[in-house]
Chains A and B, each alone.
Chain A
């Protein structure tokens, strides 16, 4: 294998409106050794049909699992097919295909196990920033601070789903991945298992369709995530990786 290969996982739940343009932008910039996998989380709309028009790898989940179970299916696929790295790329138009190459290079140059594409780091442009509500920004700040308390690492955008994972991280997360709101908890979990986490700035757009999993259940979201993070930090290290 000359180039390390990459699996781009697009988790999609009722994303038929935006998925087409997201996939075509990815395909336009895609290298030969990259594959795209759409995991359709039992959508009630035409998501699966739209996905199949663009890519050949589509997994239709038989029941709705939520974002955690959906992305984990991607990890399992990546593990089974021996990919060197995996990227989560949302189907709602928030993540930009132009960034994939740069983030991938960064993952390899840093020898990181997880690279987080951040909206806030170094105040790079985030076109929707002015529209993200004050509450949401405060929420992310709180999570970022909690993350710092628990890991000693400063991650400015712990809720970002724009992420790249190494083979080592794939192995672990295919086995064990948080369920409901996985992003911040995964940082704690990977850190616990001595994986290298790097955050880098990434251009993102306001989602062009769908809705954030965070937005409408603010309070429950925060409590859930914070509990998950704290519990995760006191849980023993995964046996698979304890040396």
Chain B
């Protein structure tokens, strides 16, 4: 078998199928409430981008030509790495936001607990005074 004999249509079919499956998978997760819509937008967007490139192969060649990449598949890798980077950064931002919220929440809970204790002590004292 010669590598030059590969049927290039096969990978295109696989890529389209993969992209569609990926988008369906994300939609299913949203439907099952395992993924929030606002966090899934970025996944859906890039699922769309990959579907676009796998349906219209020449666009990849054209894009590679535009940005000066001699070997079109490399464009896919660059795109992929960029996408992962963006998603990971988005995660860091979300984590930061959530830890700030957690901080506020914990401080609030601590202060409220102290307030309740104080009130309970006061009530207890009052009850004792009344009894006396």
Interface residues of A (CB under 8 A from B): 39, 56-63, 65, 69, 72-73, 76-77, 80, 179
Contact = CB atoms under 8 A, between A and B. Distances in A.
Given A63-B102, A65-B103, A69-B103, A39 B110 contact: yes
Given A56-B121, A63-B102, A80 B107 contact: no
Interface in B100-124: 102-103, 106-107, 109-111, 113-114, 118, 121
Contacts, number: 40
B111 A76 contact: yes
B17 to A, nearest CB: 46
Contacts of B106: 61-63, 65, 69
Interface of B: 102-103, 106-107, 109-111, 113-114, 118, 121
Contacts of B118: 56-57
A73 B121 contact: no
B102 A59 contact: no
Contacts of A62: 106, 109-110, 113
A62 to B, nearest CB: 5
Given A65-B106, A73-B110, 4 more contacts: A58-B114, A62-B110, A63-B106, A65-B107
- For the complex of A and B, the 3 pairs showing the least CB-CB separation, nearest first, are A61-B110, A59-B110, A59-B114
A53 to B, nearest CB: 15
Given A56-B121, A63-B102, A69-B103, A80 B111 contact: yes
Nearest to B100: A179
A69 B107 contact: yes
A61 B114 CA distance: 10
A63 B114 CA distance: 15
Nearest to A72: B107
Contacts of A39: 110
15 contacts: A59-B110, A60-B110, A60-B114, A61-B109, A62-B106, A62-B113, A65-B106, A65-B107, A69-B106, A69-B107, A72-B107, A73-B107, A73-B111, A76-B107, A77-B114
Nearest to A68: B103
B25 to A, nearest CB: 34
A39 B103 CA distance: 14
Contacts of B103: 65, 69, 72, 179
Nearest to A69: B103
A12 B29 CA distance: 44
A151 B27 CA distance: 52
A71 to B, nearest CB: 11
Contacts of A72: 103, 107
Contacts of A73: 107, 110-111
Contacts of A60: 110, 113-114
A61 B121 contact: no
A56 B110 CA distance: 14
Identify the interface centre among B102, B107, B113, B121: most chain A CB within 10 Å of its CB.
Answer: B107
A101 B57 CA distance: 78
A65 B121 CA distance: 27
A133 B92 CA distance: 36
Nearest to A42: B106
Contact of B107 (A56, A58, A61, A179): A61
Nearest to B114: A59
